[in-house]
Structure 1
Amino acid sequence: MMILDSLAWLIIAIPVLLLAVLAVELALGLIAGRPARPRIAAPHSAIILMPAHNEAAGIARTIALLQPALDVHIRLIVIADNCTDDTAAAAGAAGAQVIERNDPSQRGKGHALAFGRDWIKAATDTARPDCIVVLDADCEIDGASLRALIDTTCASQRPVQSCYLLRSAADDGAMTQISNFAMLIKNRVRQRGASVLGSPAILGGTGMAFPWALIESAPLATSHLVEDLVLGLHFARAGAAPRYLEAATTWSDPASQSDTLTQRARWEHGYIQTALQQGAPVMLEGIAKAKPSLAWFGLSLLVPPLALLMSLSLMALVVSAGLALLGATTAAPATLAGLLTLVALLLALAWMRDGRDTVSAATLARIPLYILWKVPVYLRLVKKRETEWVRTRRKGE
C-alpha cells in the first residue's frame, strides 16, 4: 500500500502546489483594498507608441477617444506596421503622427515597438521623452489613467502595467464573457494579490509604460508570441521589476467567440511555453539571491490558465480517488478536493467583488462547458503548437 500511497501523493503534488499559489494570490487580491489614484506631480513628457497592423477600420475611433488626453507633454505616434490597408492614411487623417514599417520577414509587435523606439532615437527634431507608453490600436485609456500611468512610471523609474481588461457586452457569447472573467481574475485580482507580496507585475502588452532610460536599450525586437511577458521577465531579472497600477485601467473590446478561442490559443501557447522554460529558473534565482518577490514571481508564472489548471486538477483528483478505492490513502484526494473547493470559493468571492459587470451568475454557471470549450486549445499545445503571431480579427470584420 505504501507504493500506492506514494503514487497518489505524487499525482496530486503539482496540482496542489499550483492551486495553493493561486489561492494565496486570490485571497490577498480579495483582502487588499483598491489603491487611490496617485496625485499628479509636475508634468512629465511621454510618447505613446501605438503599433497598428491593418487597423484602418477602427483606428480613427481609437485616436479620437485618446485625443482629449494628448497635450504638449504627451504625444502619439502610430506605427503602421506591415500594413496592406489604409491604416497609415486613416491614422494621419485622425490627427496622429504616423511612421511606417515594411519588413514582412520580421513580424510582430516587438519589432514594431523597436522600430518606433529607434525612430525616436534617430529623430533630430524629437526630444527624448521621460517615458514611453505602449497602447494597442484597439484599446482605450482615459486621460486620468494615462497621466497616472506616466507619473507612476517616471516617479518609480520602473515599468508600470495598468489594469488591462476586456469589456463585456450583452451580445457577447457565454464563452467570451467567461473568458473575459478569466482575464479579470488574471489581470486584476491576481495582479493585486501578487503586488501585496511585492512580486513583479506581469506585463499585458498594452496600457504599459517604461522609463526612457530603461526602454532605450531594452530587447524589443522579437517575434515571440508573448513578447510582453518576456520583456517583463527581462526587467524583473535585471532589478527593475514591473509594477502594477490598478488605479489606471486600459479597456479593449473582445473578439467574437470563435476568434476569442483563436486568440486565447495563441496567447496561452506562448505563455505556457515561456512559463515552462522560465518559471522554475526564475524561482530558483530568487531563492539563490534571497529575493522572495522574484522567487514568488517564478512560482506564479508556473500557474497555467484557469481552465487548464482546473482540468489537470480534476484529472488528478479522479486518478487519486481511483487509487484510494484500490487501497491507497484517502488523504491525497481529500487534500486536492479541499484546495479545489477553496479556489472555487475564492473565485466566487472575486466575482462578487470585481466581476459582476463582466459576467452574469447564470453565465458563470456554464464554466464546465467553458473548460470543455478550451480542450481543443490544449490538445493543439501537444499536437500543433502556435508559433507565429497572427492578428486577431476585430468584431464586425
Structure 2
Amino acid sequence: MLQTANKLVFMIQVLNIALFIGIIFFLIIPSVVLLIECIASLFARKDRFKKTNLAHPRTVVLVPAHNEAEQIESVLQKVLAQLNTQDRLVVIADNCHDETAALARSTGAKVIERFNQEQRGKGYALDYGLKFIENDPPEVVVILDADCQIEPGTIASITRLAHDSGRPVQATYLMDQPDHPSLKDRISMFSLTVKNLVRLKGLNRLGWHSLLTGSGMAFPWSVISKVSLAGSKTTDDMQLTVDLVIAGDSPIFCQEALVTGRLMKNKHAQSQRMRWEHGHIEMILVEVPRLLKEFIKQRRIELLVLALDIFVPPLSLLVMMGLIATMICYLAVTIGASLLPAAIASIAGCFIVVGVLLAWWQYGRNNLSLLSLIAIPFYVLSKIPIYLKFVVQPQSRWLRTERDG
C-alpha cells in the first residue's frame, strides 16, 4: 500500500510539473505578449518615422492576379490614379482562364502572363514579376493583391517611407464588411483587425518591427532584390518577415496607409482559412526555433521580439487553448494536483480577456456588440475540427479562393 501511495504521489508531482511548464510556455507567454501589444496600441503614434524627403521615388506596383476579372479594372484604376509618370503598374496574370489579362490591359497597365500548373501560388507570381522588372529596377516596389481597394495617398505614404528609411513598409490591411454579415463574419473581421492593426500599432509604439500581412507592402529595391519570393505557402508574408528581420531589414508599420480586401464567405474560403491557420502553426513550430537560434547567434533583441510575436497563435486558437488548459488544470486539482497551475491558467485567461476587450474597445465595438463578443468561445468551438486536422493532415499550401460576388 505504501509503495502504491508513493507512486501516486510521484505521479501527481510529475503532473504538477508538466502542467506548470505547459501553462507557462504555451499560455502565459503568448497571453502576456498579446496583452502588452494591445496595451501599447492605446498609446500608438500614427507616424513614428519622420518624413524628411517629399520626393516621390520611382515606383513599380506589382499586382499578382488569378482569375480576378470581376474587380480588376476598378482596383487598377485606383492604383493608376496614385502613380506619377515615372511609375509603372505591372499585373502578373497568373494561370488565368478568364478575362483578367485583357481587362487589366484595357486600363493601361503592363500585363505579363504566367502559366505554370506545377508552381502555383502568389509567391511564384511575384517572383516572376520581379524578374521581369530587374533589368530596369525601380527605387521602390509595391505589392498589392488584385482584390484589394487602396485608399488615396497610400502609395505615396508607403513608398516615401520605404525610400527614406531603407526598410520594408506595411500599410494597414483590413477587410471590408460584407452585406448582411453573420456573427462569424463579424468575429472573423475583429480577429483580423487585432492581428493586422491593433498588434502592429502596439509593436510600432514599442519601437519594434511590423509583420508583413500580404498586401499593401513597399520594399526598397535594394531589399526586395536580395530575397526569394518563390513559394506556395499561405504564410509567405510571415516567412518573408522572418527572413528580412534575420537579414537586418526589419519592416515598419505605416498606419495611415490603408488597403482593404473582401471578407471571404463561401465553403472554399473555409478551406483557405484552414490553410492560413495551419500555416501559422507551422511557422510557430519551424520559425520560432530558428529565430531563437539567430537571437543567440546575433544577439539582436528584435529577433527575440519577433519570435515572441509569432509565438502568439491565431486568436481563436489562443482562446481555445486558454479554455482547455484551465479546464484540465481544475480537473487535475480534483485528483490531488496543485492549485498553482490552475491559478496561473486563470491569470493567463484574464490577460487574454483584457487584451481582447482593449482591442474591441478601440476598433471592434462599432461592428461587434458586447453580447456578440461574449459569443467568441462558441465561435472557437466551430474551429476545433480545423486544429484537429492539423494533427492528421496539415495544410499550409497556397490555394486561390473563389470569392463571393
**What does residue 3 of structure 2 align with?**
none
Establish whether residue 94 from structure 1 lines up as the match of residue 107 from structure 2: yes
Q: Which amino acid aligns with 1:121?
A: E
Query: 8 Å contact 2:40–2:201 — kept in the other structure?
Result: yes
Given the two structures, how large is their TM-score scaled by the length of structure 1? 0.93
Q: Which amino acid aligns with 1:112?
A: A
Q: Work out the CA distance in 2 between the residues paired with 1:129 and 1:69.
A: 16
Deviation sequence 1:239-290 (CA, Å, 0-9, x none): 1111111121111111115444222111111121122101122034224432
**What does residue 89 of structure 2 align with?**
76
Establish whether residue 55 from structure 1 lines up as the match of residue 64 from structure 2: no
Query: 8 Å contact 2:43–2:205 — kept in the other structure?
Result: no
Deviation sequence 1:123-165 (CA, Å, 0-9, x none): xxxx421110000000011231211000000011111111111
**What does residue 337 of structure 1 align with?**
346
**What does residue 308 of structure 2 align with?**
299
Matches within 5 A, 1:242-253: 242-253=251-262
Q: Which residue of 101, 106, 119 corresponds with 2:132?
A: 119
Establish whether residue 141 from structure 1 lines up as the match of residue 153 from structure 2: no
Closer, same or farther in 2 for the Cα pair 1:330/1:387, shift >3 Å? closer
Deviation sequence 1:83-106 (CA, Å, 0-9, x none): 111110011112322111111111
Given the two structures, how large is their TM-score scaled by the length of structure 2? 0.91
Q: Work out the CA distance in 2 between the residues paired with 1:224 and 1:8.
A: 33
Deviation sequence 1:55-90 (CA, Å, 0-9, x none): 112211211232321221332111101111111001
Q: Work out the CA distance in 1 between the residues paired with 2:246 and 2:204.
A: 16
Q: Which residue of 110, 123, 135 corresponds with 2:123?
A: 110
Closer, same or farther in 2 for the Cα pair 1:253/1:37, shift >3 Å? farther
SS of 2:383 mapped into structure 1: helix
Q: CA deviation at 1:329?
A: 2.0
Matches within 5 A, 1:356-395: 356-395=365-404
SS of 2:134 mapped into structure 1: helix
Query: 8 Å contact 2:67–2:98 — kept in the other structure?
Result: yes
Deviation sequence 1:296-328 (CA, Å, 0-9, x none): 111211111011111122111111111222222
Q: CA deviation at 1:355?
A: 2.0
Closer, same or farther in 2 for the Cα pair 1:210/1:273, shift >3 Å? same
Q: Which amino acid aligns with 1:106?
A: Q
Closer, same or farther in 2 for the Cα pair 1:349/1:341, shift >3 Å? same
Q: Work out the CA distance in 2 between the residues paired with 1:51 and 1:168.
A: 23
Q: CA deviation at 1:38?
A: 5.8
The 10-residue stretch of structure 1 (282-291 or 88-97) with the greater mean CA deviation from structure 2: 282-291
**What does residue 59 of structure 2 align with?**
46
**What does residue 22 of structure 1 align with?**
34
Q: Work out the CA distance in 2 between the residues paired with 1:38 and 1:166.
A: 28
Query: 8 Å contact 1:172–1:256 — kept in the other structure?
Result: no
**What does residue 9 of structure 1 align with?**
20
Query: 8 Å contact 2:319–2:352 — kept in the other structure?
Result: no
Structure 1 unmatched ranges of 5 or more? none
SS of 1:164 mapped into structure 2: strand
Q: Which amino acid aligns with 2:393?
A: K
The 10-residue stretch of structure 1 (186-195 or 3-12) with the greater mean CA deviation from structure 2: 3-12
Structure 2 unmatched ranges of 5 or more? 1-8
Query: 8 Å contact 2:322–2:348 — kept in the other structure?
Result: no
Q: Which residue of 269, 278, 295 corresponds with 1:269?
A: 278
Number of matched pairs: 392
Identical positions, percent: 34
**What does residue 31 of structure 1 align with?**
43
Q: Which residue of 173, 183, 189 corresponds with 2:182?
A: 173
